[in-house]
Amino acid sequence: MQAVSSEHKDFGQPVVSSSRPGVLDEGAQNGLLTPAQAAACFHIPEYLLRRACAEGGLEHRRVVNALWISPAAVAAFGRAWWAKKGPNS
């Protein structure tokens, strides 16, 4: 009969919980923002940021299935968007 071990066995790479930064944390370490973070910081609708990334109008980095955007690129996009939108909109 085999003894039951009480210690956790590491059977592979952790998927969600890990104390080490993973691939999805790469952008956050480089000062990049997710579309949700950028939308909140710059008061631009998230769907516009995602659409601009998809259409090539906003420089971004895609890591796995996550978008990472530099704050400078979002600021430039925001200035153009606000100018186009107009002061009375």
Per-residue pLDDT tens digits for 50-88: 999 999 999 999 989 899 999 999 999 999 988 887 766
For residues 83 and 14, what is the distance between their CA atoms, to the nearest angstrom? 45
With respect to residue 47, please indicate whether it lies within any of the assigned structural domains: yes
Q: Is residue 18 part of a domain?
A: no
**Domain membership flag for residue 12:** no
Q: Are 74 and 46 in contact (CB under 8 A)?
A: no
In a domain, 73, yes or no: yes
Could you list the residue range(s) of the whole structural domain that residue 48 is in? 28-85
**What pairs with residue 49 in β-bridges?**
none
Q: Is the dihedral of CA 51, 55, 56, 62 positive or negative?
A: positive
Is there a domain that residue 6 lies in?
no
pTM here is 0.64
**Residue 19 falls within a domain, yes or no?**
no
For 9-56, the pLDDT digits (tens) are: 655 555 554 444 444 455 555 789 999 999 999 999 999 999 999 999
Position 11 in a domain:
no
Domains: count for the chain: 1
